[in-house]
Amino acid sequence: MKYFIRIFIIMLASLSIQVMGQDLQGTVFGKDENHGKIPLPGVNIYWAGSQHGTVTDEHGRFTIKGQQPGHNHDHSLLVASFVGYDNDTLNVHDIKGDIEILLATNTTLDEYVVSERQQSSFVSQISPVQVQTITSAELQKAACCNLSESFETNASVDVSYSDAVSGAKKIELLGLHGKYSQMMTENIPNLRGLSTTYGLGYIPGTWMESIQVSKGAASVVNGYESVTGQINIEYKKPDDSEKAFLNAYANHIGKLEGNFNGAVQLNKKWSTMLYAHVENLSNKVDHNGDSFLDEPLIRQYNVFNRWKYVGDHYMAQFGFKVLDENRTGGQEGFDPEEMPQTPNYYGINIKTRRYEAWGKAGYVFQGMEETSLGFVNSYTWHEQDSYFGLNDYTGTESNYYANLIFQSVIGNHRHKYSTGASYNYDAYREMLNDSTFNRTEQVPGLFFQYTYSNEKNLTVLLGIRSDFHNIWGTFYTPRFHAKYNLNEHTILRASAGKGYRTPNIIAENSYLLASSRQLIVQSDIRQEEAWNYGINLTRIIDIADREMNINAEVYRTDFINQMVIDRDQNVSQINIYNLNGKSFSNSYQVEISYELIPRLDVVAAFRYNDVKMTYDGKLEREPLVNRYKGLLNLSYKTNLDKWQFDFTTQLNGDSRLPNTSSNPLQYQRPDNAPAYTILNTQITKYFRKWNIYVGVENLTNFVQDDPVIAADDPFGPYFDSSIVWGPIMGRKIYAGLKFSIN
């Protein structure tokens, strides 16, 4: 490892920094007979004969570094490439100011107009890291009330309930729990620690501009905590969002939601934006008659304000967010306002208050557009006051994060680097019944990341960081990515890297408190540590003048150490201890996307998971992880985008269940849960400034039988609501309205 570090230091010290070229900016539009032209997101922009390029954002905007003269004979030819459109090549040698590119569709039919087909989800063909971008167009295919519901049409990320009482949801990436994926908001680590269990409900769907999902080893710039990948949420921006947006949502069980965001351009340099969200469910629903609510009652208020300043060479952003949430679950007769010392009904109550403040600043050196300096910092205060039956849990987390990033080139465009320093502070104060769990972490760190491109077919990214932890000492995080274009339509990617994280024993597993089992920590829990390796192949095939995208991938995660949550050893206990043996996850996935007929997009995917861990000396399948998953998504828009029809079906494979064989017969469950299918559909009608949508989730009304073990004796020794493998709520009918002023 020391030799690896010396190589980077020698490279940095021996090569001089030379800044070449100027930034080029512009917008890519698609022709539309009705609206004239509409911005296109996800368009690949690159220099002809090279791999130096970028991708347009949600509003069709792009910024690309100027090409260095002499690298190839097409050094001033800029290419725009997008599925369903003819490529456009521009000679930008004499162009000054913003570039405007207007792409023409490559499919025409006699007496019909074929309008643009914007990619609602795409994988960059430029980046060496496999990054899938989920745009707002993709999020509109489902109700998408919050982040947890944003992946219903995505094959890579699974979302499921953690238990049958609290309403907590968890995600899985590469077959592993979401705690192993680094969650970020605008590249700031977030939704970690105390917010791991319920944080997916803290980001409303209408606030999001896009989501980027990176699988496997990620960039070292954002820290060491990523094991299976990164999920980054981009909020709407004040300088290019709607002036006003309003969304109202309701479903048939009585849940109501309202969302608002408004943007104001104060002057040429300053803009601000206000976001507001409120949701309420006060109607008690128990369709299966087990006396427990199918969904917890919830009331949430969420407000966010951000500011943005853009100067000639300087940019700054900052914002503030406040959240207050109260959720109540358990038996239908439970009332938290009348709870006696020894309750007659089982209930849970979780009160959360969360405050966030963040700031970003960036400076591009004058005359050195390839060289920039950025500083990011954030502060979060999270407080949870809760009880689960007779278990009382309270916790607070204070987090401060800072990251200083300098980036430039080494000699020319082929050699780029980012380097800097970070600092993370976490103070946890937790109490479970009469036990206290306090911990303070302080982690300064250094990182260096180097990117090489031959500007033809090969890009390599190497990164390493060193962190100095006040508890775990010094550790190193190496990461590697490579992209090789086998030909114009075939891309091969490979990655490898390490990740570390500190387990939060209670906060990450608080949903397990909704049972009669006792949490037993058998030893001092160590830092979790794992390697991740991946290979991805992307193939583009032209069929009937339309492009079919095929992605095939294999990822493996190997744990050196892991916190084991053992629910098999003893039916009255949940044993927590350090890994003693093997633990790994193998994930294989194939995904195909294609416009089958004009305006009908089809996405089909299949994934197989092989996830095993050593429990009490025996290597077994990880419980409650589906062995396989299939997904089919159909999305059709009528001509001129008047109507949209979306349909999604998910095939969820069988999973192993925790051992309950020592329970009385009526409280036992089988060794494995069966495979099942979920169907969702939605219809949207578009008008000039507004649209209405209606939909059905879980169309076939499939639910898990008896999700709560010993529901008839919730204070007895066998009560357990944590063995959830399928939907708790049956068919859900919803409707909504969206109104916007641009």
Question: pLDDT tens across 388-441, in order?
Answer: 999 999 999 999 999 999 999 999 889 999 999 999 999 999 999 999 999 999
Please, which pLDDT band fits residue 26 given cuts at 50, 70 and 90? confident
pLDDT at 344: 85
In this model, does residue 215 exceed pLDDT 70?
A: yes
The reply to whether CATH 3.30.1200.10 applies to domain 123-741 is no
Q: Of 545 and 258, which is predicted with more confidence?
A: 258
Question: pLDDT tens across 693-721, in order?
Answer: 999 999 999 999 999 999 999 999 999 99
Domain boundaries of the chain, sorted by first residue: 2-118, 123-741
Apex 50 CA angle, 96 and 9, nearest 5:
100
Please, which pLDDT band fits residue 523 given cuts at 50, 70 and 90? confident
Question: Which of 322, 326, 323, 440 is CA-nearest to residue 385?
Answer: 326
pLDDT at 109: 36
CA distances from 422 to 352, 379, 445, 476, 519 (A): 29, 14, 5, 14, 35
Return d(Cα 26, Cα 23) in angstroms, integer: 10
pLDDT at 66: 66
Distance of CA 703 to the CA centre of its chain: 26
Question: pLDDT tens across 613-668, in order?
Answer: 999 999 999 999 999 999 999 999 998 889 999 999 999 999 999 999 999 999 99
In this model, does residue 11 exceed pLDDT 70?
A: no
In this model, does residue 247 exceed pLDDT 70?
A: yes
When pLDDT is averaged across residues 473-498 and rounded to a whole number, the result is: 96
Please, which pLDDT band fits residue 1 given cuts at 50, 70 and 90? very low
Q: Of 734 and 113, which is predicted with more confidence?
A: 734
Return d(Cα 708, Cα 690) in angstroms, integer: 42
pLDDT at 50: 65
Which residues, 6+ apart, have CB-to-CB distance to 487 below 8 Å?
none
When pLDDT is averaged across residues 258-273 and rounded to a whole number, the result is: 96
End-to-end CA distance of the chain: 53
In this model, does residue 118 exceed pLDDT 60?
A: no
Q: Give the 3-state secondary structure of residue 115.
A: coil
Query: Which one-letter DSSP state was computed for residue 176?
Result: E
Q: How many other CB atoms sit within 10 Å of the CB of residue 474?
A: 9
C-beta of residue 443 within 8 angstroms of C-beta of residue 469: yes
E strand segments, 411-489 = 412-432, 435-453, 458-469, 473-487
Return d(Cα 678, Cα 674) in angstroms, integer: 13
Amino acid type, 8: F
pLDDT at 51: 58
Half-sphere exposure of 330 (CA within 13 A, CB side): 26
The dihedrals phi and psi of 629, each to the nearest 5 degrees, come to -150, 135
Question: pLDDT tens across 544-603, in order?
Answer: 989 999 999 999 999 999 999 999 998 899 999 999 999 999 999 999 999 999 999 999
Handedness of CA 44, 48, 53, 57 (dihedral sign): negative
When pLDDT is averaged across residues 339-358 and rounded to a whole number, the result is: 87
Query: How are strands ordered across the β-sheet holding 208-215?
Result: 121-123, 131-135, 208-215, 229-235, 181-185, 188-189
Percent of the chain exceeding pLDDT 70 equals 90
Please, which pLDDT band fits residue 133 given cuts at 50, 70 and 90? very high
Question: Which of 285, 141, 206 is CA-nearest to residue 731?
Answer: 285
When pLDDT is averaged across residues 188-200 and rounded to a whole number, the result is: 96
When pLDDT is averaged across residues 509-531 and rounded to a whole number, the result is: 93
Return d(Cα 606, Cα 32) in angstroms, integer: 35
pLDDT at 105: 63
Half-sphere exposure of 702 (CA within 13 A, CB side): 17
Q: What is the CA radius of gyration of the chain?
A: 26
Return d(Cα 300, Cα 148) in angstroms, integer: 15
In this model, does residue 5 exceed pLDDT 60?
A: no
Which residues, 6+ apart, have CB-to-CB distance to 445 below 8 Å?
223, 224, 421, 422, 423, 424, 465, 466, 467, 468
CATH of 2-118, one of 3.40.1080.10, 1.10.8.10, 2.60.40.1120, 3.10.450.50: 2.60.40.1120
Task: For the chain, give the mean pLDDT.
Answer: 89
When pLDDT is averaged across residues 165-176 and rounded to a whole number, the result is: 95
Facing residues of 584 across strands? 558, 612
The two structure tokens encoding residue 525: 């829990």
Please, which pLDDT band fits residue 19 given cuts at 50, 70 and 90? very low
Do the domains spanning 2-118 and 123-741 agree at the CATH topology level? no
Q: Which helix (H) or strand (E) holds 6?
A: helix 2-14
Q: Which helix (H) or strand (E) holds 129?
A: none
Facing residues of 163 across strands? none
Return d(Cα 209, Cα 236) in angstroms, integer: 5
Return d(Cα 202, Cα 317) in angstroms, integer: 21
Half-sphere exposure of 568 (CA within 13 A, CB side): 18
The two structure tokens encoding residue 685: 């009608």
The two structure tokens encoding residue 436: 């206290």
Return d(Cα 445, Cα 497) in angstroms, integer: 17
Please, which pLDDT band fits residue 103 given cuts at 50, 70 and 90? confident
Question: Which of 312, 279, 283 is CA-nearest to residue 297?
Answer: 283
